Structure 1
Amino acid sequence: MAAMFNWATLNVAEQRAALARPQLADSASLRQQVQLIIDTVKLQGDKALLSYSQQFDGLAANSLQLSEAKKRSLLLALLPERKAAIELAYDNIRKFHAAQLPRDIDVETSAGVVCQLKNRPISAVGLYIPGGSAPLPSTVLMLGVPAQLAGCPRTVLVTPPGKPDADDIAPEILYAAELCGIAEIYTVGGAQAIAALAYGTATIGKVDKIFGPGNRYVTEAKQLVSQDVAGAMIDMPAGPSEVLVLADNSANPAFVAADLLSQAEHGPDSQVILVSDSAALIDAVKTEVATQLQLLPRKDIASAALSHSRYILTENLAQAVAVTNAYAPEHLIVQTCCDDELTEQFSSAASIFVGQWTPESAGDYASGTNHVLPTYGYSKTVSSLSLSDFYRRYTVQTLSAAGIRNIGPAIITLAEAESLDAHANAVRLRLAALNNINQG
């Protein structure tokens, strides 16, 4: 079970250890394995994808691309209540992200000098959607909706193959993809899918940027291809999922325990933390966690996550806020008597859930915010996924004759200060040409 700490009694080193994430697997060994997969896909293309499908998924055959006919057949199995839930989530996510549409900027910085900032959708994006024991239609919406709103000309979805046939994909994933206008769907998972998206094969065309969560192989593959100029950009660095709940004695222990367990069931390397100024609440939550855990189908996974999770007792809520900011959680749930006041004090959480009626599950599925978030402390500097991630921004500047006259002398002075004579000369020639025109 989770360890208990009294923050006020810890020295600096012990405090740092109390907030440490679970150790990631041997990164050197993992990197070698993933690099081999990437190199093989680059060299062999579809042949490598089919070989890995046999090796990792146990499938003798995989057509790689899901046909429209097969998709229609699978969609017939979608339960009406699930279809309605996906539609509700789609509508809310679309509303929130549509409000983020960027605007181009046009500014005359000096007389005759016009500078513009323009936004254009990324040409080709690849969406990685985890499958297997926990297919994630919610992630299709979180990635597909902003791609759709941005107007990306090409959106590609990859997801691990189904069983017993490769194209037996969860109908929930397919319906979410249909709502988002995604027609290009491939039954490929793991590091090999990331390699295919980054470099392209005969069947899967290369994309410019890759989005989506995955296991440690997928995460490592994303990091590797993003460091290769011939590869592809990625959405963000990410690791195991995590939640921190900050609660005082006014919180409902059952709600807090449920929130901790909802994150713990993600995976054995997930981490959940309760920070509170109330020892009584912590004790009550411990009891609730033990009770609720026994009812979970994924209790073995949740138990493994709890083994490296934490209960932290602080002297007061101000100290609890400081602990929270130091940890920089992916998800932060606030259940106190002064939620609104505290919410303004957080400086590093990726997504905040305020009040007893706001479970983290709301953001995972249907409130409208995006659940693709930085983890492992990256939220100190990296933001949650938003519509802007599906655009490229670039600048345009236009100088008239009056414009180059106005700022030209300053450009020459600054270029000379940096000993860049060719820069200065590019301006001198133009000013000289203008003087000749005027004298003529």
Structure 2
Amino acid sequence: MKEQRHRFLCAVCALALVLTAVLAPAAWAAEGADEAQAEAKTTLTAADAAQMQQADAAVTALTGSEEYEQMSREQRRAAALDELDGLARKGLVRRSSIRTDEENGIVSFTYSCGVLGGILFTPADELEEMTLDAGENGLRPPRGLAEASPCAEMPLTEDVREAAAARQNARQSDENALPDTIGRAAIYYAFDNTVNSSRFPYYSYMQGFWEGMGIRTTMNTRVTLADLRRMDRYDLCILSAHGAYYTYSYGALWKRTRTEPIILLTEESTFYKDIIYSFELLSHRVIKMNGLYCATADFFRNAYRAGQLSSTIVYSETCEFLGVTGSVDESMAEALLAGGARAVLGYVNNVYTVYSRSMLWDTVNHLGMGMTIGGAVTHAKDTYGENDIIWYTEQGGRRPHAAAAYLVLYGDPNARLNVPANYSLAQRADEITVDDILGEVLDRAA
């Protein structure tokens, strides 16, 4: 009896499979075949690139409009979905790939050729700046560029002031003098285009100050994927950009999802760049967000697969570089360490801008004084707080964001710049007056 029932059930299952294969919509079958074929591609054709550019033009027309800027989060999401619906009808986007990630504020999708894309419907700064009125949380609202004062917001601790004085004085003496260059640094600034920027003056100030300390600092304000392949030229690389946690669907027949951190650049997608980056795009090492290129962990893993980053410390300010609480993702750090990086620093969760900037300021200042990266990060945390909610509440804030952002160090905590171990940066500080303490350092930073 049991055997007969087993045979009956098997027959029912077989019949169901046959009916599914026969009755499945032709459009679904065609789309599945197209996806399988697209996933096998290694290069983009001119037709593929042209179709992507057509889709990108529609997306950027939406996200770059004044109307979109004024929309609420919910209105942006609806507008993004409506735009992608239209692109799917034109065959430029796979309808089955459209996915709304409410938590991270992204609608992800796949272009018809298999490249990944997305539309960000949450403003990138929404969780980063202190935007509440002073009456609500005791904090000042963000100041405009005209009122910005990097010197006022980024005070120097006494040990850094002494180090700056010692640095200036050492230049006037051959005895125990520091080398003219103690390291080379690059700030990969991709937050904005620097026009009317409330952020840029602070980074410009930091660049000038660190130059005076002997850290030869380059600031790249037009960061491209090609630039990110040349990080091995520097002892310290600072990734100052927006980050996100990107979720997408993949698979021709059996749909699966994957979530990973991405770094958002300001490099605009073009027809010719799509062709040049075709392998990276098709292998999902690079994706497009709002028509701009973004780097994934696999991008760095491939770019430095020969271990070229052997003398480099990488400090990332990007939000969600290490994922989010409850879903920590170490793929970015692992990729850079696999590429030879001596140490990698990054944040879990979205981080307040001022906290992140202050932590960077304090950490690099103390690296310039000869501290190890582990010691410098510890000093920064002791100064500004273990996480950004601690810092926020100490400023009088009463409505912190949901999850605290905290900085994590991977790799060698003893990595350092080229400061001689036997040199005491503060040994000559008592020989000059307070007015002379910063000397050339502040002159160059002005």
Bin of the TM-score, shorter chain as denominator length? under 0.3
TM-score (norm 2): 0.27
Q: What TM-score comes out, normalization by structure 1 length?
A: 0.27
